[in-house]
Amino acid sequence: MSNTLTNSTSFMALHGATLVDNGYRIVPIKPSDKAPGRYDAISNQWLDATEWSRFCDRAPTDLEITNWEGWPGSGVGIACGNVVGIDIDILDVGMATRIEELAREILGETEAIRFGQRPKRMLVYRCEEPFDSFDIRPLQVYAKGRQFVAFGIHPVTQRPYEWAFRSLTEVDRSDLPVITEQKAREWGEAAAKLMGVATPRPNNGQSHHAHEAATYEAVQQALQFIPSDASTSRAEWIEIGMAIKSGLGDDGRILWHEWSAQDDRYNSKECDKQFDSFKNDRANAIGVGTLYERARLRGWVPNGVDLYARDAEVRHAQIHIDIAAILESCARRQGIRPASEEVIYTVPQGEPGWLRDLGGGLRLFVEHANDTAIRPQPWVTLGGALAMFGALAGRRYASPTNLRTNLYCIGIADSGGGKNHPLRLVSTLLKEAGLNRFLGGENIASGAGLVSAVTAQPSIIFPIDEIGFLINAAADRKKSPKHLTEILDRLTQFYSTAAHTFLGTEYANKKERARELIEQPCMCLYGLTTPSVFWSSLSSDNVMDGSLARMLIFESENNYPDARHDIEWGELPSHLIEAVQAVAEGAAGHVALPLGDLAINIPQPFRVPYADEKAKQLAIDIDHETTRELRKYMGTPMTSVIARQAENAVKVALVRAIANNPAKPAIDFKDLSWGYDIAKQSVDTIVKAVNERVANNEAEATLKKVLKIINDAGSSGIDKGALTRRTQWLRDTRHRDGIIDQLIEGGQIWVGKAGLDPSRPKTVFYAS
């Protein structure tokens, strides 16, 4: 495939699977079109998709996605329902900007903003309780029953759709602000008032223009974009007829005949009979809005006509634009504060999806850490909670497939950001609960020392600060002494033998130094480090040998949260202490360690079942998804990282289920969904970091530095001039061009053309 975008570029192959991974329901879009389509390989042509709306209620299967990825030139649409698109279909720059600001004020700040034909734009939000679409012309709320193009070639501009800040491939659905029908209508009313138009009233879930009189000219225009031929089913034919009569009444009969007559099956008497059967009071379930929507999906842009009878009055309404308000709001979004305004520090409202869905002992730990931290780091704290509960559950519980709770969790945040607080809390909590035997040392001096500690306490957690320096030394096999490089080797061995027997090293003098033997060791690690130290300590060797793959990465998204000075220190909550003690005791009525918790004793862990068939099937689906990802990255170092994705997902789900109900745990659908999200986030972080930061030499480091600049530009890309300015540290133009050529040949970036002047397009570089 060419690196330059054309009408034959398969956006589905580029982005489809990632969008589904991020929680979106997708549909294939015909090339250079807005309408869902299906590709007929026999006739080698694209046809209309008549049943695409089922994806408003479910995500496509792996088989469907794989099939779509082979369709030439396919765009990607988002089937609305669990997401809502706020479409600002206005060509007036000032008004479009003001209405966008109004949406941000009422609906919340979203980074997912898509442009097709500027200055028109669409803002994307999350919806938990789906509702029907509605319009406030020229604005539309794309909710259940509609779709919008996320990636493709715009039919008017003939350029790719653009995402202003972050595209949906970079934003998980759970991270979008939540929208409700009530809020959407509140925004609609405010926008209508701003534009000086009337707001349509809800009408029991029907299209909100179903009862409105349309204009003859608009219906006539729209019908020109809707085919009537052998591919048109009878159901579609009737639907269009109902829409025409709903909008025009009996005046639409002529248009109904003209449109139907394009089909060779046309019968005048049948046409009249069917038209007469439609209700004449515009109370049909199908309104004229359906007709307009069908036409828009096929590229119709109303040309000099009013859609509804009332629009003629609206069109002449005077519009007032508050330029000062627009500039102030834009400045705020860019971090520019008016000189007269005081700085007010606030705690962000709401909480991330992973925390909202968290319960049991894990939530107790994370909440207490947040409540007692000067600078809360909940995401980094979660890593500590998982590792701690994993150690306590070690040798006592196992998954249905005999996976164990041994986890290596790495929290990454800059110095001074508050990352040390959860580390100290782990040690304090275990000591207060009388479980300090599970605590390993705060440093690991050698591979032999690590083995000795696990032999003495086979279920153990090592809470290590500044672990990046330790990994840095252990990873440098050329310069570091053997006792340090053996640390990573032992970490890898312990991870792989959690359900088996660690056999240790054979020594010549067996009397003085016998071989260590540990049955089913459960070593957990909670290490903290800074981004620069951790990622710079790794090379591609660490990726390929699997040492990095075994780690769950929790990299802070806010390195410097606002400091709080109202912290009240006190005793640890009794229910938190009881939660960790309950996990350490094991499942009720089951003796996991009949001969004691010694290294040579063979545990009989409680086999945690799946809660139901739905959970079991999800575990299978997660494994299949990992296999699909492995095939996608086959031949690259990333396969070792991705290979652990399903395993870590189940391990995390297992720890969650145990922490929720230590006495009688069962892994349910939510546990697995949540565990997969955690594991996938870690894999994505590693893959992104390896691509951008991990290098074996100076030349590779330079290459990745340029790649990171292009990646940071997001879906809008970066033009050649801007890239030249950002890379002035390179030796010369030839060196820069050579790096760009390498990135293109490697498929890491692709080249497109943009610019307002078609005769002098700019070269733009986009991240793959």
- Residue 187, pLDDT above cutoff 90: yes
Q: How many CB atoms lie within 10 A of CB 651?
A: 24
CA-based nearest residue to 518, from 446, 601, 398 = 601
Task: Please check whether residues 162 and 263 belong to one and the same domain.
Answer: no
- Could you tell me the CATH number of the domain that includes residue 389? 3.40.50
Last residue of a domain, one of 315, 346, 381: 315
Task: Please check whether residues 148 and 292 belong to one and the same domain.
Answer: no
Is 623 among the domain residues?
A: no
Cβ atoms 419, 537 nearer than 8 A: no
Task: Please check whether residues 180 and 275 belong to one and the same domain.
Answer: no
Q: What's the CA gap between 525 and 570, in Å, rounded?
A: 27
Whole-model pTM: value is 0.53
Task: Please check whether residues 521 and 419 belong to one and the same domain.
Answer: yes
Is 601 among the domain residues?
A: yes
- Residue 5's pLDDT is 55
Q: Strand pairing partners for 178?
A: 126
Q: How many CA atoms lie within 13 A of 372 on its CB side?
A: 18
- Residue 314's pLDDT is 46
Beta strands in 702-741 (DSSP E): 718-719
Hey, what are 89's tokens? Answer: 């279909």
What is the total count of domains within the chain? 4
- Residue 463's pLDDT is 93
- Residue 578, pLDDT above cutoff 90: yes
- Residue 207, pLDDT above cutoff 70: no
Task: Please check whether residues 220 and 190 belong to one and the same domain.
Answer: no
- Residue 751's pLDDT is 84
Q: How many CB atoms lie within 10 A of CB 55?
A: 23
Which DSSP state fits 201?
P
- Residue 703, pLDDT above cutoff 60: yes
Task: Please check whether residues 190 and 229 belong to one and the same domain.
Answer: no
Last residue of a domain, one of 546, 581, 607: 607
C-alpha distances in angstroms, 358 versus 363, 367, 422?
6, 10, 17
Cβ atoms 443, 427 nearer than 8 A: no
Q: What's the CA gap between 740 and 685, in Å, rounded?
A: 24
Is 669 among the domain residues?
A: no
Hey, what are 66's tokens? Answer: 């794989």
Determine which helix (DSSP H) or strand (DSSP E) holds 411, and give its type and residue range: strand 408-412
Highest mean pLDDT of the ranges 87-101, 228-242, 302-316, 393-407: 393-407
Average pLDDT of the residues of the chain: 82
Task: Kindly indicate the confidence band of residue 202, based on its pLDDT and cuts at 50, 70 and 90.
Answer: low
C-alpha distances in angstroms, 83 versus 26, 103, 187, 649?
11, 15, 16, 25
Three-point CA angle 88, 94, 99, nearest 5°: 40
pLDDT digits (tens, 9 = 90+) for 653-697: 999 999 999 999 999 999 998 999 899 888 888 877 776 766 666
What percent of the chain stands above pLDDT 70? 83
pLDDT digits (tens, 9 = 90+) for 253-290: 999 999 999 988 889 999 999 998 886 543 445 678 77
Per the model's pLDDT, the better-predicted residue between 758 and 355 turns out to be 355
- Residue 518's pLDDT is 92
Task: Please check whether residues 251 and 285 belong to one and the same domain.
Answer: yes
Last residue of a domain, one of 145, 162, 195: 195
Task: Please check whether residues 190 and 254 belong to one and the same domain.
Answer: no
- Residue 182's pLDDT is 93
Query: What CA dihedral angle connects 178, 181, 182 and 183, to 10 degrees?
Result: 40
Q: Which amino acid is at 406?
A: N
CA-based nearest residue to 408, from 440, 386, 436, 381 = 386
Task: Please check whether residues 112 and 162 belong to one and the same domain.
Answer: yes
- Residue 139, pLDDT above cutoff 70: yes
- Residue 323, pLDDT above cutoff 70: no
Task: Kindly indicate the confidence band of residue 378, based on its pLDDT and cuts at 50, 70 and 90.
Answer: very high
Is 107 among the domain residues?
A: yes
Task: Please check whether residues 184 and 220 belong to one and the same domain.
Answer: no
Per the model's pLDDT, the better-predicted residue between 499 and 97 turns out to be 499
Q: Tell me which residue has tokens 């293109």.
A: 744
Is 722 among the domain residues?
A: yes
User: Residues 4-13: what's their mean pLDDT?
Assistant: 70
Hey, what are 583's tokens? Answer: 């996990």
Determine which helix (DSSP H) or strand (DSSP E) holds 159, and give its type and residue range: none
User: Residues 293-307: what's their mean pLDDT?
Assistant: 73
pLDDT digits (tens, 9 = 90+) for 327-361: 444 444 334 434 333 333 222 334 677 777 788 99
Is 660 among the domain residues?
A: no
Per the model's pLDDT, the better-predicted residue between 527 and 515 turns out to be 527
Q: Which amino acid is at 195?
A: M
Is 234 among the domain residues?
A: yes
Task: Please check whether residues 399 and 303 belong to one and the same domain.
Answer: no
- Could you tell me the CATH number of the domain that includes residue 729? 1.10.10.10
Per the model's pLDDT, the better-predicted residue between 742 and 603 turns out to be 603
Q: What is the DSSP string of 68-106?
A: HHTSTT-EEEEE-SSEEEEEE----HHHHHHHHHHHHHH
User: Residues 301-318: what's their mean pLDDT?
Assistant: 61
Three-point CA angle 520, 525, 527, nearest 5°: 170
- Residue 41's pLDDT is 78
Q: What's the CA gap between 384 and 426, in Å, rounded?
A: 7
Is 74 among the domain residues?
A: yes
User: Residues 492-496: what's their mean pLDDT?
Assistant: 89
Q: How many CA atoms lie within 13 A of 670 on its CB side?
A: 11
Query: What CA dihedral angle connects 70, 76, 82 and 88, to 10 degrees?
Result: -170
- Residue 746, pLDDT above cutoff 70: yes
Which DSSP state fits 43?
T
Hey, what are 554's tokens? Answer: 């929790």
What percent of the chain stands above pLDDT 90? 36
Domain holding 722, by residue range, is 698-767
- Residue 169's pLDDT is 92
- Residue 29, pLDDT above cutoff 80: yes
Task: Please check whether residues 38 and 176 belong to one and the same domain.
Answer: yes
User: Residues 571-587: what's their mean pLDDT?
Assistant: 92
pLDDT digits (tens, 9 = 90+) for 386-405: 999 999 999 999 999 999 99
